[in-house]
Amino acid sequence: MTDDSWLNEDEQRAWRSYLAVQTKLSSRLNAHLQRESGLSGSDYEVLVHLSEAPEGRMRAFELGEATRWEKSRISHHLTRMAGRGLVERQPCAEDSRYADVVLTEAGRTAIVEAAPRHVAHVREWFVDAMSPEELAAFAAACEAVAEKLDSSADGDCPSAREC
Amino acid sequence: MTDDSWLNEDEQRAWRSYLAVQTKLSSRLNAHLQRESGLSGSDYEVLVHLSEAPEGRMRAFELGEATRWEKSRISHHLTRMAGRGLVERQPCAEDSRYADVVLTEAGRTAIVEAAPRHVAHVREWFVDAMSPEELAAFAAACEAVAEKLDSSADGDCPSAREC
DNA sequence: TCACAGACGGTGATATATCAACCTTCCAGG
DNA sequence: CCTGGAAGGTTGATATATCACCGTCTGTGA
């Protein structure tokens, strides 16, 4: 059976189990993050990038590159996070086209407290589910897929971001 | 370094590459599905399950189990899909608590035409990115994670669905 | 110097997801 | 009976994501 329009049994098993993990793992992690730290997965992602930047400060579009979100999503999300005091917007003095985003004290506290618990869950449900060899094989496979996606940056995609 | 509150280098590499794949692959697949077939990923998922059911007919809550969506999400989404003629609601004669969902002709046509193209992309970006051995290892790892998640069905989760 | 193209960012409208009630129906226990 | 609880399904309000458009600024080239 070399029917290119379908997957064979092994391929389908891999694909479906990947889809299952994607759904279950992210919903489980997000639910726990929300419950234990009051942060959504998106909040967490933004805070991680900011906390890794020098002085907890980044340009909005750098955040967009890091998260691979559209600029409007970034903007809306920052508005909400600023409203909750996790983050602060600072117009850029030199060039007022740009906008700096800085971590507030509350924001740093939030990520510092949330991260260990989150990481513990990642370890519990992801890392500890497999042996070190399996983990390495898994990482290699993921990198291969990511590379494949990056190399085939098909041009006719309307939204430039993910292509 | 046995600091349980962080990941070592290999673990972090695996986790971050997994996150990257999750983001890039799903956005790429969804964008192409939308452009080539006019279906969202969610539409596609519903249509796949319906088309695999006898007579293209399922109970709404069976769809919920299959997709792992909340019942309200199922209901809203079916309303939209019914509006586009992909699907039809039929109250159940025997027990009027239940609601049947059936695939329309248009719905079957849509999934029959969309599936080969979608599968081709899955093959292109996922299956063909690795060797058969890597694929098998990947599947095994995913199954291990899924099993871990299922076995640790932590009780104190407010939303029953994903726990 | 004066348009003007292009990059960054924001905004409002729409689409979709989530949350909290609610209604109906069936069934089990008085 | 009949009453209360549980399950399936729907609805409307809210939260979040996406889309199309607009505004600001800067650097560039006529």
pLDDT, one tens digit for every residue, chain B (163 residues): 556 678 999 999 999 999 999 999 999 999 999 999 999 999 999 999 999 999 999 999 999 999 999 999 999 999 999 999 999 999 877 777 889 999 999 999 999 999 999 999 999 999 999 999 999 999 999 999 999 999 887 544 434 344 4
Rounded CA-CA distance B36/B80 in Å is 20
Do residues A47 and A41 make contact, with C-beta atoms less than 8 angstroms apart?
Answer: no
pTM beyond cutoff 0.95:
no
Question: Which CATH fold would you assign to the domain A22-152?
Answer: Arc Repressor Mutant, subunit A (1.10.10)
**Torsion B40-B43-B45-B48 (CA) sign:** negative
Residue B2: the pLDDT is 55
Residue B78: the pLDDT is 98
Interhelix angle B105-125/B41-52, rounded to 10 degrees, is 110
- The reply to whether residue A123 touches residue B148, judged by beta carbons under 8 angstroms, is no
B73 beta carbon to strand C: under 7 Å = yes
Strand C bases contacted by the protein (CB, 7 Å)? 6-13, 16-21, 24-26
- The reply to whether residue B14 touches residue A148, judged by beta carbons under 8 angstroms, is no
Residue A93: the pLDDT is 73
Per the document, the length of chain B is 163
> Tokens 């519990």 identify what position?
A124
CB burial string A109-129: b at 16+ within 10 A, e below: ebbeebbeebbebbbebbbeb
Do residues B96 and B74 make contact, with C-beta atoms less than 8 angstroms apart?
Answer: no
Residue B4: the pLDDT is 67
CB-based contact, B141 to chain A, within 8 Å: yes
Question: Chain A residue with minimal CA distance to B153?
Answer: A28
- The reply to whether residue A137 touches residue B141, judged by beta carbons under 8 angstroms, is yes
Domain residue ranges of chain B, discontinuous segments joined by +: 22-152
Q: Looking at the C1' of nucleotide C16, which residue has the nearest alpha carbon?
A: B77
Rounded CA-CA distance B18/A142 in Å is 6
Residue A3: the pLDDT is 63
What three-state secondary structure class fits B114? Answer: helix
Residue B96: the pLDDT is 75
Residue B112 CA to nucleotide D18 C1', Å? 27
User: What distances in angstroms separate CA B120 from CA B22, B113, B123, one per listed residue?
Assistant: 18, 12, 5
Residue B159: the pLDDT is 41
Residue A144 CA to nucleotide C6 C1', Å? 35
Q: Looking at the C1' of nucleotide D17, which residue has the nearest alpha carbon?
A: A73
Quickly state the pLDDT bin for A158 (edges 50, 70, 90). Answer: very low
CB-based contact, A159 to chain B, within 8 Å: yes
At B59, which helix (H) or strand (E)? strand B57-59
Q: Which residue has the higher pLDDT, A78 or A159?
A: A78
Average pLDDT over residues A61-75: 95
Q: In what order do the strands lie in the sheet with B57-59?
A: B57-59, B99-103, B87-91
Percent residues over pLDDT 70 in chain A = 91
Give how far A98 is from chain B: nearest CA, Å.
Answer: 26
A7-26 tens-digit pLDDT: 999 999 999 999 999 999 99
Residue in B23, B26, B134 closest to A140 by CB:
B134
A77 beta carbon to strand D: under 7 Å = yes
Q: Provide CB contacts within 8 A for B150, sequence distance 6+.
A: A24
For the cut 90, the answer to whether the pLDDT of residue A47 exceeds it is yes
Residue in A13, A126, A150 closest to B145 by CB:
A126
A69 beta carbon to strand D: under 7 Å = yes
For the cut 50, the answer to whether the pLDDT of residue A156 exceeds it is no
For the cut 70, the answer to whether the pLDDT of residue A68 exceeds it is yes
Give how far B113 is from chain A: nearest CA, Å.
Answer: 11
Q: Closest nucleotide to residue A75 (Cα to C1')?
A: C10
Which residue of B145, B147, B157 to mutate against A (max A Cβ within 10 Å)?
B145
Residue B3: the pLDDT is 63
Q: Closest nucleotide to residue A40 (Cα to C1')?
A: D16
Please give residues of chain A from 41 to 100 whose alpha-adjacent beta carbon (CB) lies under 7 Å from any atom of strand C: 59-61, 64, 71-72, 74-76, 78-79, 89, 97-99
Residue B151: the pLDDT is 87
Percent residues over pLDDT 90 in chain A = 83
